[in-house]
Amino acid sequence: MSLTTDFIVIGSGVAGLRASIALASTGARVTILTKDKARESNTEYAQGGVAVVLSEDDDAELHEGDTLIAGAGLCDEEAVEILVNEGSRYIRELIDWGTEFDKEGGKLVFTREAAHSRRRILHAHGDSTGAEFVRSLIARARLEPSINLLPFANTESLIVQHGRCIGVRYLDPILRAPREVVARAVILCTGGAGQLYQHTTNPPVATGDGMAMAYFAGAEVADMEFVQFHPTALSLENAPRFLLSEAMRGEGGILRNLQGERFMGRYDERLELAPRDIVSRSIVAEMRRTGSRHVLLDMTGLDAAFLKTRFPKIYETCRVYGLDISKDQLPVSPASHYCMGGVRTDLWGRSTLPGLYAAGEVTCTGVHGANRLASNSLLEGLVFGARAGEAAAKDNVEFRISNFEAGKSENVSAVGDPRLSISTAVKKRVKRAMWERVGILRDEESLQRAITEFEQIAASNLSTSSRNFVTLALLIARAALWREESRGGHYRTDFPEPSEDWKVHSIQKLGAEIRSEEKIDPSGEAAATRAL
């Protein structure tokens, strides 16, 4: 039996919640599917804050310039303009909805992070900004009676009929059986794929399912080779790779090697405030130079009371593992953190598959280019989540589901073993190969070996989720092999310099060879194919 709704949103992070609110404001029925509890998403774990132009000494052109520099020549300038200009309005809206950003004397407190030219980062409860976003957006969403949120509903695949996405298959959390729900349109807000790597700051749910589902359904994905590694994740045996926020270096934290030497001066004149990709590679180089498995983040020059107030969650987490951030130097090393690539969309969240929209980390709008600027991710989810919701509602006013045939789909990912868990053996093999061969430093031989291994895994009898997982690894590895240069989050030791010839985006589609495009925005194609 199939359920029917007006719109389906997959994911309950900032992008999914904001898209749902936009849809519900039109009176539409919205069903939100999320594979864990409503609050479990990458948004929930975002510590660093949100970058926004609201302070008196800042302006949108400066924020845009910083974003373009970090993006290493691959940002879509129009996308960046939308982000920085509309971002201020949506943050003010969040404040009106009750989001509690940190203040002093009744005024918002702005901090600075790496590669920002101004103090423009807002925080909530010190280092719990993402959690506050989710809290306030869920509270706002609950005011909309037409929003139905289904937690623990693991989406298996997209339903495609007559060349259009019209719904999803998911595992009913109560009946533990597959179900179908059809709608005028689907909005993917499933987040990133950090769990592809052995070491990651991402939660267990960040397995990239949305990207893989869209790819199998026939949508294009772009720039999959660009993966951001956060420089400073807590590196202790028998402890999770807990993120030590960018803001710790923004407030004056110093990176030292195990001999106590401050080493960033060897690699970049911006020292600890260089872009993330540079800091991550510098840490790897220093670990290799000194034969160590980590470096040290030194916060001891800052006031203890300030650190406890500014980084309460980090302070308490480190204390659990016997570390006092005001007295001890913290062992850190890089970990996978963010995917710049994803489902190719235009500036309103339209994918190249009619009926399928997307917003947030699952997408590639061109806003981040080859390397995301710190604290732009929450802003992106907010701005483009709202835009995707508005576009989906407007585009599909007249569309009606008719002649839907249950159990039938043109989507090849709907065929096969319906089990949804990722095999432990598959997960271990993929994560290890991705970390060792498709990680911070890459070369042709390592990438070829990774691709061969992933193709062998993909040829076996896999569950749907295992197939999605290894397919995503293949997409990243193939794009990394294809791009014979170094740019942003993608670094090839055999092609260590950027090249003007490669100032293009990689585009991948099921059944086709990788091709290049000068622009991410597929609005011309999307506009032509979304006619109802």
For 304-343, the pLDDT digits (tens) are 999 999 999 899 999 999 999 999 999 999 999 999 999 9
Question: Which residue type is seen at 109?
Answer: V
Q: Which CATH number fits domain 231-336: 3.60.20.30, 3.90.700.10, 2.40.10.10, 2.60.210.10?
A: 3.90.700.10
| Whole-number average pLDDT of the chain | 91
Residue in this structure with the two tokens 């070829």, named with its chain if needed: 448
pLDDT of residue 191: 94
Beta strands in 119-266 (DSSP E): 121-122, 147-150, 154-161, 164-171, 178-182, 185-188, 221-222, 227-234, 254-256
Q: Are 182 and 159 in contact (CB under 8 A)?
A: yes
**Spatial CA neighbour of 50 closest among 79, 84, 13, 16:** 84
**Spatial CA neighbour of 218 closest among 168, 159, 169:** 159
- Three-state DSSP class for 193? coil
Range 165-193 average pLDDT: 92
Q: Are 250 and 232 in contact (CB under 8 A)?
A: no
pLDDT band of 415, cuts 50, 70, 90: very low
pLDDT at 385 over 80: yes
For residue 330, give the H/E element and its range.
Answer: strand 330-339
d(CA 467, CA 463): 6
pLDDT band of 51, cuts 50, 70, 90: very high
Residue predicted with more confidence, 241 or 211: 211
Q: Which of 168-172, 185-189, 278-282, 519-523 has the highest mean pLDDT?
A: 185-189
Q: Are 30 and 20 in contact (CB under 8 A)?
A: yes
Write down the pTM of the prediction: 0.91
Q: Are 479 and 494 in contact (CB under 8 A)?
A: no
Give the chain's radius of gyration (CA, Å): 22
pLDDT band of 527, cuts 50, 70, 90: very low
Could you tell me what percentage of the chain is helix, strand and coil, using 3-state DSSP and rounding each to the nearest 5? 35, 20, 45
- Three-state DSSP class for 261? coil
pLDDT in tens, 69-117: 999 999 999 999 999 999 999 999 999 999 999 999 999 999 887 778 8
- Three-state DSSP class for 500? helix
Beta strands in 22-68 (DSSP E): 30-33, 50-51
Q: Are 334 and 166 in contact (CB under 8 A)?
A: no
Phi (first) and psi of residue 12, to 5 degrees: -125, 35
Q: Are 292 and 503 in contact (CB under 8 A)?
A: no
pLDDT at 276 over 80: yes
The full set of domain ranges for the chain reads 2-190+340-395, 231-336
**Which residues are annotated as catalytic?**
276
Q: How is residue 44 written in tokens? A: 């929930």
pLDDT of residue 297: 98
pLDDT at 530 over 50: no
Q: What class is the 2-190+340-395 domain? A: alpha beta
pLDDT at 43 over 70: no
Residue in this structure with the two tokens 């294009």, named with its chain if needed: 220
Range 48-65 average pLDDT: 91
